[in-house]
Amino acid sequence: MHFGHVLMIFSVPLLILTAVKLTFLTQAGAFSGLGFAGGIVAILGAIFLAVDKGALCLVVSAFDTLQDKEFAQLKAGFRTISQKASWLKLVWGIVLLPLGFIILAVANLGGLTLSAWQCICLITGSALLLMPDGFEIINLGASVILIAGLLPMGLSWLN
């Protein structure tokens, strides 16, 4: 599980690059202001994704090295972490990531710079990612939908 979270941290630069590319695609259309706002929101969300994974996953992974007796003493600490107490409330900024991509998809849909089906995939997949934790099957479905919408753009970058 920790390896998966590290992969998510490494995805942050790609998310930022994708947000920038989608922002530039909107600049020629009538929705350039909306695209710019969506780009800023998505980039902030990507940064908060890294913050979330660093604070809630990488730090907690260090506790794997503790003996059971030592680990049991952390129960109150884990409760505080799970409640996102104090500055951990900042990790709620992660919701900006799907919101930003929804805004970018709407701006691109209106500007006709991406195909409509790709924009609909981005909107649907991003909206599904707004589900709270614990709905992993929905998150998986959202990821598949997002891949469908983003894969053609990614492949075109490779050419």
Domain ranges of the chain: 2-158
> For residue range 40-91, what is the model confidence (pLDDT) as tens digits?
999 999 999 999 888 878 888 888 888 888 888 888 888 888 888 888 889 8
The model's pTM is: 0.87
Could you tell me the CA-to-CA distances from 87 to 27, 50, 54, 79, 91 in Å, in that order? 36, 15, 13, 15, 8
Query: Mean pLDDT over all residues of the chain?
Result: 88
8 A C-beta contact, residue 129 and residue 142: yes
Task: State the average pLDDT over residues 12-35.
Answer: 89
Which helix (H) or strand (E) segment holds residue 140: the answer is helix 136-158
Could you tell me the CA-to-CA distances from 93 to 4, 33, 83 in Å, in that order? 20, 22, 15
Bigger pLDDT: 15 or 61? 15
Question: Residue 154 — very low, low, confident or very high, per pLDDT cuts 50/70/90?
Answer: confident
Residue 67 CB neighbour total at 10 angstroms: 7
